[in-house]
Amino acid sequence: MKKRFSLRHALVLCKRNLIKLTRTPEQLIDVTLQPIIFLALFLFVFGGAISHGSRHDYLQFLLPGLIGQTIAMSSISIGQNMNADIAKGVFDRFRSLPIGRSVPLVGAVLADFFRYLLLCVIMVGFGYILGFRITTSPLLLLAALGISICFALSFAWVSLWVGMTVRTAGAVQGVMFLLIFPLSFGSNAFVQASTMPGWLQAFVNVNPLSHLVSAVRGLLLGGPVAAQIGWTFAWIIGLLVVFFPLAMRGYIRRT
């Protein structure tokens, strides 16, 4: 008889991860300072050149893009942390307990929900200070944050898979950067895809981050969103279907 996954167990381990987070708050830098720095950097350094004048217009365009990019960047830490965490004795204790095998990993992802929530709040809050304005409704803002966090929790499994596969925590970062840079810059996060060469547009148009950014843009600023939301959820499910089993396999094989 196999012990089945229990949400209650996952929540217990989610709490463990949150307690660990409070012991080393510097782990929150990537979801607190990073969005602020990126927003300021792109707006004030590149914003003028990219937008030919209207910084406000570029801020409206940039902020949804940066939500996508910083979400991808912030996924690195879960893979890194679990790579280091799993080498510690407490994971052997988890393995010796009659709980579902996936519980420790799911617990870590659930705890990341709060990190991503923080990231979104800080991004929108700092954007607001700089002059960003939603032109739709607060309800659609919640929908935008919801879809962003769903995407983040799904994308986290890519990072977990890398974390379970490579040897060191440093290598997790290296591999994830290789993945995230083309994904975030080869998207419509910073500039319109129409300014790019055709072959690149082809990549940008299937890039999951592009779909997420388009969906968030539509939800915050108006315009048609149904198709982009559909594509985003398709990616969310697709990433989970592929990377959840891969991460689990890596976890079980790692002793």
Partner 1 sequence: MTELAIEATGLTKSFAETRALDGVDLAARRGSVLAVLGPNGAGKTTAVRILATLLRADAGSARVNGFDVRKQPDKVRESIGLTGQFASVDEDLTGTQNLVMIGQLLDLPRRAARQRADELLAWFDLTQAAHKVAKNYSGGMRRRLDLAASLVGRPQVIFLDEPTTGLDPAKREDMWDVVRSLVSDGSTVLLTTQYLEEADALADEITVMDHGRVIAHDTPHGLKRVVGGQRLTVRPADPARHDDLLDVLRGIGGEHPEDDGRGTVTVRVAGDEVLPDVVARLRAAGIAVDEFSLHLPSLDEVFFTLTGTRSRDDNQEALV
Q: How far is the CB of 168 from partner 1 (least distance, A)?
A: 19
Query: Judged by CB under 8 A, does residue 13 bind partner 1?
Result: yes
16, 55, 56, 254: residue in contact with partner 1 (rule CB under 8 A): 16
| Number of C-beta neighbours around residue 45 at 10 A | 10
Site stretch for partner 1 (CB under 8 A), options 5-13, 43-51, 56-64, 188-196: 5-13
- Distance, CA of 216 to CA of 245 (rounded, Å): 28
Q: How far from each other are the two terminal CA atoms of the chain, in whole angstroms?
A: 23
* Among candidate residues 189, 238, 181, the one with its CA nearest the CA of residue 214: 189
* Among candidate residues 11, 157, 151, the one with its CA nearest the CA of residue 82: 157
Sign of torsion, CA 27 30 35 41?
Answer: positive
Pick between residue 1 and residue 139 the one whose CB is nearest to partner 1: 1
Nearest 5°: CA angle at 76, between 218 and 196?
45
Query: Judged by CB under 8 A, does residue 98 bind partner 1?
Result: yes
Query: Judged by CB under 8 A, does residue 167 bind partner 1?
Result: no
Q: How far is the CB of 28 from partner 1 (least distance, A)?
A: 15
Query: Judged by CB under 8 A, does residue 90 bind partner 1?
Result: yes
Site stretch for partner 1 (CB under 8 A), options 16-24, 138-146, 184-192, 238-246: 16-24
Residues near partner 1 (CB under 8 A) are 1-3, 8-9, 12-13, 15-16, 19-20, 23-24, 88-90, 92-99, 103, 255
